[in-house]
Amino acid sequence: MERHFDACLDSLKHLLLSMSALAEQMIADAVKALVERDAAVLPRVYEHEERVNQLQKDVDEMCFTLIALHQPAAADLRFILAASKINTDLERLADQAVNICHKAERLITQPPVKDFAIIPEMAVIARGMVKDSLHAYVNRDVDTARDVIMRDRRLNEGKVAVTENLAQVMMANPAAIPRALDIVLVSHNLERIGDHAKNIAENVIFVVQGKDVRHYAPPAAGDKAAGA
């Protein structure tokens, strides 16, 4: 029975790592489409979204079954309840990649807006946070989790910088306003991906140390943790 439980926990971790890998690829593809003005990668994002949605249901069902059948002890129960929360954050951050795609589809049919180098930089940070938050969870690695939480500030700063830069672009060139607005919103999408990764990392600390670090993060630039 116990060996079966351990095997189920391993499957749970693998499902979450698969979701994370899909979501990381979705973020990379969405931003590639936007920056390189290349629509060819967009269908893959929508395919990955379908798989993430299915995995979300599988993970929730597995969490339910694990608790109902095995009545796990305290430490394992916290680990499974965290999986259930991480599952939600992964699906929602993958949705943010889809939202970036919608804007990329509109933007690449129109004249390019002035250079916006901060967006790809933000995407790299966001993907790294997602990847590392999941590895922190499966390895119960508090140091990495804390590092993910610290990195969130850089995305908040990126969002503020993009918003301020693009407001200048809009004032100088009112015809570019609808396009510039879309890019501002992309920076918000990326910042929210970071928020979800931060939420995942906070769960890791709770699982390992039993310490609830939510609402104790250092104040960050811009808006509340959950986004803009």
Angstrom distance (rounded) from CA 22 to CA 130: 11
Q: Does 178 interact with a second copy (rule: CB under 8 A)?
A: yes
CB of 98 to a second copy, least distance (A): 5
Q: Is the dihedral of CA 123, 222, 203, 146 positive or negative?
A: positive
Binding test (CB under 8 A) with a second copy, winner from 13, 78, 131, 153: 78
Q: Is 121 in the site for a second copy (CB under 8 A)?
A: no
Residue 186's nearest CA partner among 81, 84, 92, 96 is 96
6 contributes a contact to a second copy by CB under 8 A: no
Rg (CA), the chain: 19
187 contributes a contact to a second copy by CB under 8 A? no
# residues near a second copy by CB under 8 A: 46
Per-residue mark of binding to a second copy, 26-65 (x: CB under 8 A):
---------------------------x--xx--x--xx-
Give CA–CA dist 193/85, Å, rounded: 15
Tokens of 192: 């929210």
- Does residue number 106 form part of the binding site for a second copy (CB under 8 A)? no
What percentage of the chain's residues is helix, strand, coil (to nearest 5)?
Answer: 80, 0, 20
* Residues 70, 166: Cα–Cα separation, whole Å: 54
User: Look-up: residue for tokens 């501002």?
Assistant: 184
- For a second copy, the closer of residues 161 and 167 by Cβ is 167
Which residues sit at the interface with a second copy, rule CB under 8 A?
Answer: 53, 56-57, 60, 63-64, 67-68, 71, 74, 77-78, 81, 84-85, 88, 91-92, 95-96, 98-99, 102, 163, 167, 170-171, 174-175, 177-178, 181, 184-185, 188-189, 192, 212, 214-215, 223-228
